[in-house]
Amino acid sequence: MTTVLTKSFPEDKPLPAKAAVRKKRVLIIGGGFAGVAAARTLKRADVEITLIDRRNHHIFQPLLYQVATAVLAPSEIASPIRQLETRQKNLRVILADVTGIDLGTRTVEALCPGSGTRKIEYDFLVVATGMRPSYFGHDEFAANAPGLKNLNDAELIRTKLLSAFERAESTDDEKARARLMTFVLVGAGPTGVELAASIAHLNSVTLRKNFRDIDPAESKIVLLDGGVRILPTFAESLSRKVAKRLGKLGVQVLTGVKVEKVDEEGVVAAGARIPSATVLWTAGVAASPIVKMLGTTTDRAGRACVGPFMDIPEAPDVFVAGDAAAMTQDGHPVPGVAQAAIQQGRFVGRLIAARIRGRRDGNPFRYRSKGNMAVVGKNFAILEAGRLRTAGFATWLVWAMLHVMALPQLQNRFRVQTQWLWSYLSGQRSSRLISEPPRR
């Protein structure tokens, strides 16, 4: 009998799987110009991006005043932030309110509607929360003088403007009627100037012959500013041209005047009472309270004082971009305008992508101005780009073209372009809606 010996081999053991390498997490707070620009710049980076905003939409701020004056509807200058997810696979959008930031544990606390508070971890944090109206220590003014920073503000202002004429039409009290047909704007920067000119056109053209007992063209528009001239960020020659243009539109400009009181009856400025039922605040801005959660140095407006790479000294992987950041260049502050916010957002996105790949930081951020513009009613705008200073109809055409092309979505561009053409030819505005208060 033959015995066959067999050698037993141990069962093959599976090779240990490589531990999955966790992707770096980038957390962006704010879906404005800077936040969206940072997210888009990281589209091809090997990261996990979370974008948090308390609103579900991105607003094209330069045209917000046109929503306030019934030229455009809110949807025509806004686009859903969540739409970014369909185009960017490494991006996640969360609708939430940020309630806390812990730099030590690298976590952000967010209050999500319907699901409570959650903590979100990050490796890189970008704070791009923008600005809010500042009343220079007189927050009590806000109750009677709304600012213009979001769609709710714009719709509130539109309601106040249109309601004032409806109330003026229904009263026989001449004193009350005069107060209702007086509009006061505090702050003669670009927003105040553009808003005042648009209100003047609304009153004299759009609402003409819409009432039996009143003539909206006879309303009074007063633009107040504490400075020596309007549009202080523009050249003085352009400022004078705008002041002259506003005068032709029927806007009374008062400079060197400080507002001392705002109440239901109007404003008190330089000791004189201006009766008005509609006071609008376009004077100052302050940073979002979220910036204070970083515990870093801030300027008088509450903006974070960032370094040359848009980061804060307390945490080199925490960046502040857009209007929430205070930065100087060549001895002058970087302006809080859309083009600066977009450039900063892209810079931060590129910097994060480079650090993830292990590359050294390149050159620090440097703002490159493409020029500043402001529109003053129909057929008139101003432009300042370096030594170039222009004003008039041709500049207005350039302004219109640039703003249409800068809108976030193709449908926004088509709608705005169509509405502008209709308003230009007919003088009418399609969004003359008075919002109803919520029912109990």
Tell me which residues are annotated as active site.
194
- Strands 311-312 and 328-329 come out as unpaired
Rounded CA-CA distance 97/56 in Å is 12
> DSSP label at 11?
P
Rounded CA-CA distance 176/171 in Å is 8
Rounded CA-CA distance 25/431 in Å is 42
| CA 347, 351, 357, 359 torsion-angle sign | positive
Rounded CA-CA distance 125/212 in Å is 58
- Classified as helix, coil or strand, 385 is strand
Give CA 392 to chain center in angstroms.
26
Q: Which of 227, 256, 260 is nearest to 136 (CA)?
A: 260
**Phi, psi at 277, each rounded to 5°:** -95, -10
Residue type present at position 345: G
